[in-house]
Amino acid sequence: MSAKWTDDGTRVGGITPSAAKWNEPLISAEIWGDEILTNPQWLRPPVRDRFGRFIRMAYHHRGVLRYAGYKAWVEAEVNRRWPGVRLNWEVRGETVAEVSNASWRVKCPYCPGAQVVQPGEPFVCVECINVANDGYALAVTWPDDETREWIERILLARPAPHNMNWLASKGETVDTLIAENLEHGFPPEIGV
């Protein structure tokens, strides 16, 4: 089965036949919406603010779900840049998940790139394909579930998504985020 996604240019064209699986959608477009956001097979129930917003992970981004999983999306993005490139998913080293613009992401340690991440999935940068790490993937360290939910609740108390940032790679802590909220006159977290 090949995908027919063409509306936003996410679909990869001209890839090799052996890479055809990259075009298989993870889900059909028809079930996009409330069902995908509440289906525990794909997603933990997100913490939402009273307007329904939440901090997104990779599978909350429709473009990612157009491929057969997170790795398939990364491979497709890489093949948009260098058709035929094969990635090495073997892990050597680790990096941290953080939040930018209301999405969980990894800031690439090797280049200016950054990309959305999904719990349980390693990181290979679609821009530099981790060449500085000899092409090996990096394990992604996430906060424990309780801390992660707390971070999300703090960031969701901010009105604008572009301010929903937790830059773990720059040493920001939970206390940093709460202080920023109070400094700007926002509640320390949603529901308070």
Q: Which residues bind Zn ion (CB under 5 A)?
A: 108, 110-111, 113, 125, 127-128
- Token pair of 74, please? 């990364």
Degrees (nearest 5) of the Cα angle 82, 84, 90?
Answer: 95
* Nearer CB in complex with Zn ion: 37/128: 128
Strand partners, 123: 138
Task: Report in angstroms how near the CB of residue 96 gets to Zn ion at its nearest.
Answer: 15
| Maximum separation of any 2 CA atoms in the chain, in Å | 55
Would you say 24 or 127 has its CB closer to Zn ion? Answer: 127
Report the nearest approach of Zn ion to the CB of residue 74 (Å): 12
Residue 81 beta carbon to Zn ion: minimum distance, rounded to whole angstroms = 11
Q: How far is the CB of 18 from Zn ion (least distance, A)?
A: 25
Q: Where are the alpha helices (DSSP H) in 111-191?
A: 145-155, 174-183
Nearer residue to Zn ion within complex by CB, 110 or 136: 110
Per the CB < 8 A criterion, the answer to whether 56 and 70 are in contact is no
Q: What distance in Å separates the CA atoms of residue 131 and residue 135, rounded to the nearest whole number?
A: 4
| Helix, strand, or coil (residue 160) | coil
Q: Which is nearer to Zn ion, 23 or 79 (CB)?
A: 79
